[in-house]
Structures are given as structure tokens and as C-alpha cells.
């Protein structure tokens, strides 16, 4: 399975995702990154036709020029490092424009940002994120500013934590992380046994569930280790949303990696799901891996 990241689409509104974030992602060059495409979307409702106002052409030009100036500065810094750079500044809806750009550019990864102080919805509404995920067949990295933690965050792919629910997408995430081998110091693989699933069970049954999960996790670790990537497994019990966050801190992870089930329509599974919750609420950058499906952006 070819999951190399050669081209990255960097979706920014500047305030939440700046050049410092981009710099940490340049480590992906070790894993084949050679082309970065910037996308700035002027939301249609900011410049749309309004009664008595019409199309706010001046506002559209102002935003376009401001974005262009920032992108020229970023591009110059990347060009001189031998990177290939492209730019889109579009008026429209964010999800639609991201999907279009992914398709036109055949991007391998989408990076979007989230502010430290606010939830994802304040920059990208929940429905936008859901729509974005629904439209894309490529991984989405929700980037976040470094949280205040008692350990150094490092670069996102230094110490990823793969939270698996055994779904095809979380197994696909294993292949994805294997392709990131030059960047990774160690992978932690975690499964959360849902508290509800073992309530009323005997101690013996609960222990059996833990043992089975641990065994499956060790099989995944073996796949990483066969590629020379150190890996350790952990079983947690409780609410997956809380336990994954706990695991991220305890493992001093730099990135959470989650897939989603392909048993039913992915977006239906995703709404209100653990991956979306982690993407929106967690302090840690989150990489969402979609299940394998048609190979295009739209």
C-alpha cells in the first residue's frame, strides 16, 4: 500500500496555523515530502451578496492580498530549501475548496489547524470538519499549538500513539505510520476496552478481555518492529475519549493517530465518534486515517 506523503495541502487562516507549525512538518521531508500547497479560503458569507451591500469586492481583495503576501513570504523560505510550493486562494466553502484542491493537486495529506484557546468549531465548525472528512480519502492532520505539558512535545511524528479499535481504518493507520519510519522514534499502540462492555462480567472475564486485547496489540507492535520501529502496547479500560487523552499524556506522545470503521458509511460512524472528539478536544495533534476507498479527493 503506497501511503507516502509527497504532497501536503496546508489549509490555513494564519491565526491558528502559521509558519512555525509548517516548520515542524518539514521533518516529513525525511519521509518523501517534496511539495507543499497552501490553501486560504475566503468564506463565502464574508464577502457574499447581501441586501444593500452586494458583493464585498473590497473585502475579498483585501483578504486575498493579505493572504498572498503571507504565502509569498512562506514560499520564498521553502523554495530556497529546494521544496516545491503552490498556492490557492479561493472564495467558497472550506470543505468544498479543500476537496477541490486535494483532487487537483493529488495531495497525500491535509493539514488543518486548531487554536489552543478554543475548540475546533471556532475556526472550522463541527459540520465543516465532518464534511471535510466525508469528502476526503486522504489522511487529515488536525494540528494544534504545543500544549503546556511536563515534557517536550517535539515534532508530531516523533512519538505517535495509535489508538486502535481494530477497524480497517485503524489497521490502515499501521501502514501509514510504517511509511513514516524515518521520522518515528517510537510508536505506542493503545486499545481502550469500553467500561460498558465488561460491566457485569466476572474478574476472570474482564482479565480475559484485557489479555485478548493485549495479544492483538502485540501483533500490531510486531508489524512495526519488523520494520525497525520500536513499539509498545497498552490496554486501557474506561471511556475511550478520556482514556485516549490519558494515554497520550502518560506515553508522552506527540500525536494521536486514529482510524474509523468502514463497516457503515464512515461519516455516520464519525459523527459524535471518538476520532472526532479527539480531533476537536484533545490538546494533541490528531491524525485521522480514513478507510480505504476510491482514490480521489472528492
Partner 1 sequence: MGNRVLVVDDDPDVRLFTTTVLEENGYEPLEAENGEDGLQMIRAEQPDLVILDVLMPRQSGIRLYRELKTHAELKNVKVLIVSGITQKAFLRSQQALTEFGAAPVPEPEFYLEKPVEADVLADHIKKAIG
Question: Which listed residue (49, 52, 58, 81) binds partner 1 by CB under 8 A?
Answer: 81
Closer to partner 1 by CB, 22 or 169: give it. 22
Residue at grid coordinates 477541490: 100
CB 252 within 8 A of CB 157: no
Q: Does 105 bind partner 1 (CB under 8 A)?
A: yes
- Residue 151, classified by CB atoms within 10 Å of its CB into exposed (0-12), middle (13-18) or buried (19+), is exposed
Phi-psi map region of 148: left, alpha, beta (phi>0 left; psi -120 to 50 alpha): beta
CA proximity to 186, closest of 245, 108, 251, 135: 251
Question: Which listed residue (84, 194, 218, 280) binds partner 1 by CB under 8 A?
Answer: 84
Q: Does 37 bind partner 1 (CB under 8 A)?
A: yes
Considering the complex, what minimum distance in angstroms separates the CB of residue 85 from partner 1? 6
Q: Does 176 bind partner 1 (CB under 8 A)?
A: no
Give the Cα-Cα-Cα angle 231, 247, 236 (nearest 5 degrees): 90
CA distance 90 to 8: 17
Considering the complex, what minimum distance in angstroms separates the CB of residue 271 from partner 1? 32
CB 224 within 8 A of CB 177: yes
Q: Taking each helix axis as running N to C, give the angle between helix 126-135 and helix 94-105, from 0 to 180 degrees, rounded to the nearest 10.
A: 30
Q: Does 40 bind partner 1 (CB under 8 A)?
A: no
Closer to partner 1 by CB, 52 or 82: give it. 82
Site for partner 1 in 61-80 (CB under 8 A): 68-69, 71-72, 75-76, 79-80
Q: Does 116 bind partner 1 (CB under 8 A)?
A: no
Q: Does 88 bind partner 1 (CB under 8 A)?
A: yes
H-state helical runs in the chain: 19-25, 44-47, 57-79, 94-105, 120-123, 126-135, 168-179, 195-198, 203-225, 240-250, 266-270, 274-281
Closer to partner 1 by CB, 12 or 233: give it. 12
Question: Which listed residue (1, 20, 45, 82) binds partner 1 by CB under 8 A?
Answer: 82
Closer to partner 1 by CB, 76 or 242: give it. 76
Closer to partner 1 by CB, 35 or 191: give it. 35
The CA-atom distances, in angstroms, between 220 and each of 104, 181, 237, 274 are: 35, 15, 19, 21
Across-strand partners of 245?
Answer: none
Q: Does 99 bind partner 1 (CB under 8 A)?
A: no
Considering the complex, what minimum distance in angstroms separates the CB of residue 136 from partner 1? 18
Closer to partner 1 by CB, 37 or 235: give it. 37
Considering the complex, what minimum distance in angstroms separates the CB of residue 100 from partner 1? 11
Residues 6+ apart with CB under 8 A from 118: none
Positions touching partner 1 (CB under 8 A) are 37, 68-69, 71-72, 75-76, 79-82, 84-88, 101, 104-105
Amino acid at each position: 500500500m503506497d501511503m507516502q506523503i509527497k504532497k501536503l495541502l496546508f489549509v490555513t487562516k494564519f491565526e491558528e496555523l502559521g509558519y512555525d507549525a509548517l516548520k515542524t512538518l518539514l521533518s516529513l521531508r525525511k519521509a518523501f515530502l517534496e511539495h507543499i500547497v497552501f490553501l486560504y479560503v475566503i468564506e463565502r458569507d464574508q464577502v457574499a451578496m447581501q441586501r444593500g451591500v452586494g458583493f464585498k469586492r473590497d473585502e475579498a481583495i483585501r483578504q486575498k492580498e493579505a493572504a498572498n503576501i503571507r504565502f509569498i513570504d512562506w514560499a520564498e523560505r521553502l523554495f530556497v530549501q529546494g521544496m516545491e510550493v503552490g498556492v490557492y486562494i479561493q472564495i467558497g466553502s472550506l470543505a468544498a475548496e479543500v476537496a477541490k484542491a486535494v483532487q487537483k493537486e493529488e495531495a497525500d495529506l491535509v493539514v488543518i489547524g486548531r487554536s489552543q484557546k478554543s475548540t475546533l468549531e471556532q475556526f472550522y465548525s463541527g459540520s465543516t470538519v465532518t464534511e471535510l472528512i466525508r469528502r476526503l480519502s486522504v489522511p487529515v492532520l488536525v494540528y494544534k499549538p504545543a500544549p503546556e505539558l511536563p515534557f517536550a512535545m517535539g515534532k508530531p511524528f516523533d512519538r505517535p500513539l495509535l489508538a486502535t479499535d481494530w477497524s480497517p481504518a485503524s489497521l490502515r493507520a499501521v501502514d501509514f505510520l510504517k511509511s513514516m519510519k524515518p521520522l518515528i522514534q517510537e510508536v505506542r499502540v493503545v486499545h481502550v476496552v469500553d467500561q460498558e462492555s465488561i460491566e457485569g462480567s466476572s474478574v476472570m472475564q474482564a482479565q480475559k478481555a484485557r489479555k485478548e486485547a493485549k495479544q492483538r496489540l502485540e501483533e500490531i507492535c510486531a508489524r512495526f518492529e519488523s520494520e525497525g520501529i520500536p513499539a509498545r502496547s497498552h490496554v486501557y479500560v474506561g471511556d475511550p475519549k478520556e482514556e485516549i487523552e490519558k494515554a497520550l499524556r502518560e506515553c508522552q506522545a506527540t500525536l494521536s493517530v486514529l482510524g474509523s470503521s468502514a463497516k457503515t458509511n464512515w461519516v455516520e460512524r464519525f459523527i459524535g465518534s471518538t476520532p472526532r472528539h479527539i480531533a476537536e478536544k484533545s490538546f494533541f495533534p490528531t491524525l485521522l486515517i480514513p478507510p480505504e476507498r476510491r482514490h480521489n479527493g472528492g
